[in-house]
Structure formats: C-alpha cells, structure tokens
Amino acid sequence: MKINEKEPYENGANPKKEHLGKYTTDNNGEFMTTDQGLKINDDQNSLKAGDRGPTLLEDFILREKITHFDHERIPERVVHARGSGAHGVFELYKPMGKYTKAKFLNDTSIKTPVFARFSTVAGFRGSTDLPRDIRGFAVKFYTQEGNYDLVGNNTPVFFIQDAIKFPDLVHAVKPEPHNEIPQAASAHDTFWDFISLMPEAMHNIMWLMSDRAIPRSLRMMEGFGIHTFRFINDEGQSHFVKFHWKPKQGVLSLAWDEAQRLSGKDTDFHRRDLWEAIDQGHFPEWELGVQIVPEEDEHKYAFDLLDPTKIIPEEMVPVEIIGKMTLNRNPDNFFAETEQVAFHPGHLVPGIDFTNDPLLQGRLFSYTDTQITRLGGPNFHEIPINKSIPEVTNNQRDGMHRMQINKGKVSYNPNSMGGGCPFQAMIAEGGFHSYGERIDSVKIRNRSKSFFDHFSQCTLFYNSMSDHEKRHIQNAFSFELGKVKLVPIRQRMVNMLLEIDESLANAVADNLGLVPKKLSQPITDIIPADAKLEDYASFSNELPISDAPSLSMATKLPTDIKARRIALLTADGVNDEAFTKVKLQLCDRDAMVAVIAPKHGFVTTESGDQYQVDESLLTAASVMFDAVYVAGGDSIKTLSANADALHFVAEAFKHCKPIAADRNGTEFLQKALPEIKFPADGVTADGNLEQFVKNIQQHRFWERECGAGVPA
C-alpha cells in the first residue's frame, strides 16, 4: 500500500534501505512479529466473533501486546498517573426501574458513597496539572450490591476504535523514548505521526484541540462514560445507555497562554483548586445523565453505537438527568486513597452490562492486569479505598498483600466439608447474570464497515462551536503542528483537516506555511498486508443535523459565581466602605475572595482598620483567579506606582477576564491598559458590583483577543 507521501527518517538514512521515502509493502524482509517471533498479519483489529461481535479471550496477540504494555511502568499508572480525588455521595432523583434493576438507581432514599478521581492522561505523576490533554473522570460507587465503577474522560469519544491500538496510541503520545521529551505534551513528532495515519482518531483530536482540553477547574468539566453500555431491567429487557456527568458549576476553560503561565506559577493548580473548594465548603456537584436507546433502535443511526469514536448528539437523543453527585470530603491520605484507588470498567452491579464495543472489550482485560502490577498482586480489592460494602466471600486465597484471614480447610467449590459455602446466588437473590445476547459469527480480525466514517462527526463538532471556540481550535492545531519537525507529517494533518472543514484546514495550513491538498485516495488506517484497500476506504455519512449546540462550551455557562476565585487588589489607604462592601457581597455569593496587596501581612484602611493579606504580588498572579476587583481610595496611588500591580491587571485583561474598579480606580485601569479605550467589554469602572457579578458568570470576554491594544 502506498501513501504517496515522502517521509525521510528522522536521523537521516535508513541503515537498511537508504532510498526509503514512501510507505510501501517493500519492507526489506522486516515483518512485525509477536514476542515469540510469529509474523503478525493484522495489528489493527482484535479477534472478534463477527465484525461487530465481542472480543475473544483466545486472542493471544491482543493479550500479549496489552499484557506487555500494562507492565511497562511501575509503580505509577501507565496512563492517568497524575490525579486528584475526593469522597462524596450520589443521590438519585427518580427510580430507573423501567430500564435497570441496579438498586442504587432505584432507591431515592439512599445516599450512595462515591470516590471520584480526576487525572491527566499523558504526563508522569509529577507533571503539571495544566497541559493540553484529555482528563480522566472516574467514579467508584460503593453500592449495597458491590462496587460499580464508571470510568471515563472529559470527552465523550476516544482516539481509537479497537483496544489493540491502545499501546500504540500511548507510546506515541508519551515522551519520545530516545530522550524522554516532551513531558505531558502531545506537541511532538511521534504523536502526530501516529495520528496522521489514524483517521479514526480525528474526532477525539477535535475535542483535544478545543478548549475542553484546558479546563478552568476539575470542578468545571463534563464527564462521559465514552462507551455504549447496557441497562437490564427485572424482565431481562436491554436498553443501550451512554453516561454523562453535567457540572453544576458550568463548563469553563482556561486560555492557552494562561495555562502555560500557570504551569510555571502553580503546577498543582487544578489539584489545589479542588482541595480548597471542598475544604472551604464549596462542594462541587455534577448531575448524572443518561442517553437511552431501545435495543430495536441499534441500527437506526448514521453511526454505530458500538463505535467509541462517535457520540449520540443530544439533539437526537436528549440526556435524561437522573441524579446528583456531591464531592464533600477530601482524602485523609493521598497515597492510601487517591493513589491506591483501583478503577475497572468491569466492576459492575446487576442491571448494568457491556456491549461489544471493541475498545471496551479490551479494557475489561487490561484494567485488572495493570492493577495487579501497580498494586503488587491480586488482592488490591482489599485495600480500604477499594473495599466493597458487602462482605467478600469466595474461595480465592493467598497472593501478595493478603489482608483477609480465612478460617477452615475449604478453599474450593463445590464442597461438603464447608457445608457447601459460599453458595451461588440466584438471579432473584441479586446474583449477576450476563445479558443473553445472541452471537452467531465466524472468528475474524476485522472491523465493521459501520466504523469507517471518520469525519462526519468531526465536522458536526466544528460547526457547533462559537466563533472564539473555532479560533482556539485553529490556534491549537497551529501550535501543536508547529512543534512537529517533519514537514510531511504536518502536511498529512492539514490534508486530513480538509476532510473536516475547508476554513479550518486553510487557517492552520497558512500558519504552517503549507497548502492543504485534497486526498488523491481515501485515507485509510494501516491495514493487514493482504487486505483490499477498497474494503477499508473511509467514507462520510450524512448526519440529520448540521450543528449541535450541546457541544459548545458557550452554552454551558454557570448561573452563579459559587467558588469562583476573585482577586481583591488593594494596598494601604484603601477606602473602608469600598473594601468591606465588595468583599462581603462577593463572599455572600459564595465566591472565594483573596486579598492581594504589594506585601504580606495586613492592609490598613483609610480609617485605620486592618485586614489580613492572603497573597502578595510577589506570590500571586492574575492567572490564578477568575476576575479582579480594584478597591479604591488612597491605595490607588500605591498600586499605580507598582509595576506588579499594573501587570496583574493587564495580564487579566489579556486573558479576557472580568475586571472592575471603584470610580477613583479608573485612573489605575487606564495606566495598566493605556491602549484600551473605556468602556471596554467585561470591564466595570464605576463600582457597579451587580454588573461585575454578571460578568463573572459569563466567565470570559473572548472578543478581546481580536482587539487592538491587548497587552502582550
């Protein structure tokens, strides 16, 4: 198979084939093999019972590849190493018995304990909180029927369709192996080389290049189960279901320049923000929503429900809100809880089951395998943070770090010496029973053709963005690909963008000094050596909607300023009334107000009262706050003569944040922003506190990015 693009080796000539400049089947006798030396015919698809059937345990190539991958790093997680967690409760709004028999989704009188962990994907455990990256969003429900884990991300889709490609994806995005650079970043050659040859990844790439990948806070991002699961009711009826977490704090982002600066100012920004919000009683909340599709509608849509690179647009199947999670307690010990918590999509309760999503099927093997390595053996379920509420009674014994002390002789089943205990539970007694899906297929390494539309939902996503979100996506692609050294990789990517949107491709290509080219043949995944190209051709299905407002963050703004971080910029001589009124009224709205002054200690008001300073201008920066208020009085003279104070406000303006000042603070704003004509968007210079609050709810005034005079 030829791609018709020249791509020289990174370090010059190929030592075995000097003239190699194209992808070709002429490989000088080098074939991919298993660890046992067996030549591999298909490294793209796991072995399934039919092209839409479940993955088979006998797939020794899949098991060998993922087993090796799962054991590559110890003791930190291979991915999602950098994380933060908190305890809380889940409260059900309404019984869901029509769809599922899961007890915690049918009893509105109970509060189900939960532990949630949020994480970045690519970075090591000591990396920054602020990279452009997907965030993990995992929740462990400690139910009366056992632990249920909903393990997802802050994007509703994933990069790949089949779990056999997961090691390749992570190898590509991790630091390059020859020099372990760059850390926690996707802006490098190996990642984009892989992506440019895997068009199935483009939908998640669009989410990664959007503002979703740089959330303002872990409290302010959505969560998704990604896969299509099943609900099973008491009658044994099945419905397909997708899970959504909707934050009640709004869905908000950082500016990219702001995130980069924050990485230097406070690498723990997200971790600290979550901890402090809970510590101060501003408990973050998410509502749990479900999209439910009847079994008979499985093939109703222009996309495949089993394809983890596709969403069901909310405009087509609305999200039904069924409950709320509140995180209300920080961990007592980070290692014992946040670091040792072990999630697994295979931790189920009766009433919830799997589908044949090939990515999900591989995860069901991988998670147990990697926990065994990371936590020292098969008894990780006995660590307190992982223990279920029901007592564990089975015939499993021994192994590393065994904590449960089993008495008696019997460790097998069936038995008579132990009175037959423990007994199997009937379905009516809560015994788990897998859904009886009929399977009648041949064993095959293949992918359903219904998985081959790689671009329609990318276009839907881009069309659904606001103007500033589109601009940010263009800039993100330009930044990331600008870090790629090999021009052929950049060219392949802008060519791919042309399949999504012409204006997007042209904007990115212009920034890179390239011209996007229409593909001379359909883009294909790397395919088995003896496969027919036409069988793997990409195609686009026409979706019944051209845009989906639910995909835009601009439609998900908060309705209050609860737990928003406000900098109250002041100095000695501040007006008493201005200072106390602003602080009290913002705190009454549950904002997190910090007094920022030129130095630590206390500020003295005009009347001689003193107030504690929370941060000095030497330790604080505007990037740590959502908005800035400049309190008036004689303090304005001090602030106007302080370069750090002027920079504080100018930087906040650059990052499009709400700014306010008392009437006599206008001269300070004009000195900090000499090129800006007032009134300006999001700037309140007359002490109007109500307008300032409304501006904070809007979060950012992104149109400033296009204006003249914005400080560098």
Bridge-based pairing state of the strands 320-329 and 83-92: antiparallel
Q: Are 571 and 598 in contact (CB under 8 A)?
A: yes
Over residues 223-236, the pLDDT tens digits come to 999 999 999 999 99
* Catalytic residue list contains 153: yes
Over residues 66-91, the pLDDT tens digits come to 888 887 765 889 999 999 999 999 99
Q: Are residues 541 and 593 part of one domain? A: no
pLDDT at residue 186 in the model = 96
pLDDT at residue 712 in the model = 66
Comparing C-alpha atoms, which of 443, 365, 438 is closest to residue 47? 443
pLDDT at 23 over 80: no
Over residues 447-487, the pLDDT tens digits come to 999 999 999 999 999 999 999 999 999 999 999 999 999 99
Q: Are 216 and 277 in contact (CB under 8 A)?
A: no
Its domain, for residue 641, covers 558-706
Q: Are residues 268 and 140 part of one domain? A: yes
pLDDT at residue 666 in the model = 84
Residue 271 lies in a domain: yes
Residue 66 lies in a domain: yes
* Catalytic residue list contains 575: no
- When pLDDT is averaged across residues 664-686 and rounded to a whole number, the result is 88
> How far, in whole angstroms, is CA 234 from its chain's centroid?
34
Q: Where is the domain boundary, 356, 386, 416?
A: 386
Lookup: tokens for 707: 């204006």
Which CATH number is 512's domain given? 1.20.1370.20
45, 147, 153, 356: which is the annotated catalytic residue?
153
Over residues 598-626, the pLDDT tens digits come to 999 999 999 999 999 999 999 999 999 99
Q: Are residues 574 and 544 part of one domain? A: no
Over residues 33-68, the pLDDT tens digits come to 877 777 888 888 999 999 999 999 899 889 988 888
Which CATH number is 574's domain given? 3.40.50.880
pLDDT at 101 over 70: yes
Q: Where is the domain boundary, 554, 571, 601?
A: 554
Q: Where is the domain boundary, 332, 358, 386?
A: 386
Enumerate helices (H) and strands (E) in the chain, giving the number of each.
Answer: 16, 20
Residue 39 lies in a domain: no
Quickly state the pLDDT bin for 365 (edges 50, 70, 90): very high
Q: Are residues 483 and 623 part of one domain? A: no
Q: Are residues 536 and 600 part of one domain? A: no
Q: Are residues 132 and 107 part of one domain? A: yes
Q: Are residues 355 and 475 part of one domain? A: no
Proportion of the chain above pLDDT 70, given as a percent: 93
pLDDT at 2 over 70: no
Q: Are residues 215 and 337 part of one domain? A: yes
Length of the chain: 712
Q: Are residues 243 and 163 part of one domain? A: yes
Q: How many domains does the chain have?
A: 3
Q: Are 53 and 90 in contact (CB under 8 A)?
A: no
Q: Are residues 535 and 662 part of one domain? A: no
Q: Are residues 324 and 370 part of one domain? A: yes
Comparing C-alpha atoms, which of 174, 163, 285, 142 is closest to residue 226? 163
Residue type, 593: V
Residue 643 lies in a domain: yes
Q: Are residues 374 and 225 part of one domain? A: yes
User: Which residues lie below 8 Å from residue 459, measured CB to CB, with a gap of 6+?
Assistant: 500, 501
Over residues 322-351, the pLDDT tens digits come to 999 999 999 999 999 999 999 999 999 999
pTM: 0.90
Quickly state the pLDDT bin for 144 (edges 50, 70, 90): very high
- When pLDDT is averaged across residues 150-167 and rounded to a whole number, the result is 97
Residue type, 451: F
